Amino acid sequence: MQLTISDTLAGSARTVCIITATPAADEPRLIRQAETLHRLGFHVIVAGYEGARPPPDFWQVILLEPNSRVLRLRDHVRLALLKAISSHSGAAAEAYYWGYAHFEGAYRVIAERLQQPVDFVIAHDWYTAPIAARIARGAGCPFSVDCHEFAAEQYMHDPVWVRRERPWVRSLERRLLPKADVVTTVCDGIADAYARSYPRMSRPTVVRSTPGFQRIDPSPPSQRVKVLYHGILAPTRGLEEAIASVPMWPDTYDLIIRGPGPDLSRCVDRPSL
């Protein structure tokens, strides 16, 4: 039976370790989560990579660094075999996961630098779930997974990913998500997709990615209309179609693209981008 978040954090839990494989201080969802736990009185430890922003003062930071090791021929052969059978074996999928040096290395860094008992562990996305489960198992505490995406269909536009990566990702999620004490996600659609795909797990709890309320007084309208895209600059976001449509817009409209990624202004001729 899966617990609710409040049930899991009730009682003696006082220290929470949040794990991400991204620049932690640049993640708004993670920051809101950490701030909420801090306000509730928990000591918050965040393990992740260095970002553009400084971390909040209340975080205890475990900084992860990219690392790699040279794989020998027998390592490549072993990983290829594990990957080939992972769609039929969750254990093989997890062994394949740990074959990557950066996942094993991230676990070791976190395990070595945790200087106090941990009462709860939170993984952000499937690719940190094995690390969180292993840390929680060693600490004898519950863990949760916060799924930002529906991982099994995140890159369905890429036939190579569908053929090579999707089977072991699905197998790994099928193995680990039902073991989590809490699974959360960002919307009802993804929660329903997980419930349909993995019947052994309870439907994830929906925690929407909405910022806190801020009162913003309206400003007088200007002669130009600014159309804003705010998000990651990457394929499959519809940016190519948006840019291609700009010549059909009224001359008083401007498209503004804001987010992390390449400098798109070098790729287009319209000066308003």
Percent of the chain with pLDDT over 90: 70
CA distances to 31, 105, 209 from 26, in Å: 8, 22, 14
Give the residue-averaged pLDDT of 69-82: 88
Q: How confident is the model at residue 238 (pLDDT cuts 50, 70, 90)?
A: confident
User: Lowest-pLDDT range, 36-45, 90-99, 204-213, 241-250?
Assistant: 204-213
Q: Are residues 121 and 239 in the same domain?
A: no
Decide if 215 is inside a domain.
no
- The confidence score (pLDDT) of residue 272 equals 37
Decide if 236 is inside a domain.
yes
Residue 273 pLDDT > 50, yes or no? no
- The confidence score (pLDDT) of residue 69 equals 72
Q: How confident is the model at residue 11 (pLDDT cuts 50, 70, 90)?
A: low
Q: Are residues 237 and 184 in the same domain?
A: no
Residue 102 pLDDT > 90, yes or no? no
- The confidence score (pLDDT) of residue 65 equals 85
Q: How confident is the model at residue 269 (pLDDT cuts 50, 70, 90)?
A: very low
Q: Are residues 199 and 145 in the same domain?
A: yes
Give the residue-averaged pLDDT of 156-165: 92
CB–CB of 54/25 below 8 Å?
yes
Give the residue-averaged pLDDT of 250-263: 85
Q: What is the mean pLDDT of the chain?
A: 88
Q: Are residues 61 and 101 in the same domain?
A: yes
Q: Are residues 239 and 117 in the same domain?
A: no
Decide if 76 is inside a domain.
yes
CB–CB of 101/69 below 8 Å?
yes
Residue 1 pLDDT > 60, yes or no? no
Give the residue-averaged pLDDT of 220-230: 88
User: Lowest-pLDDT range, 67-71, 73-77, 80-84?
Assistant: 67-71
Give the range of the structural domain holding residue 16, as residue numbers without chain letter: 5-206
Question: Which CATH number goes with the domain that contains 102?
Answer: 3.40.50.2000
- Domain boundary, last residue among 206, 237, 256: 206
- The confidence score (pLDDT) of residue 40 equals 92
User: Lowest-pLDDT range, 39-43, 50-54, 202-206, 230-234?
Assistant: 230-234
Give the residue-averaged pLDDT of 2-11: 53
Give the residue-averaged pLDDT of 81-106: 92
Residue 6 pLDDT > 90, yes or no? no
| C-beta neighbour count of 152 within 10 angstroms | 20
d(CA 169, CA 177): 12
Sort residue 186 into left (φ over 0), alpha (ψ -120 to 50) or beta: alpha
Give the residue-averaged pLDDT of 13-20: 90
- The confidence score (pLDDT) of residue 115 equals 81
Tokens in use for 76?
A: 């490549």
Query: How many structural domains does the chain have?
Result: 2
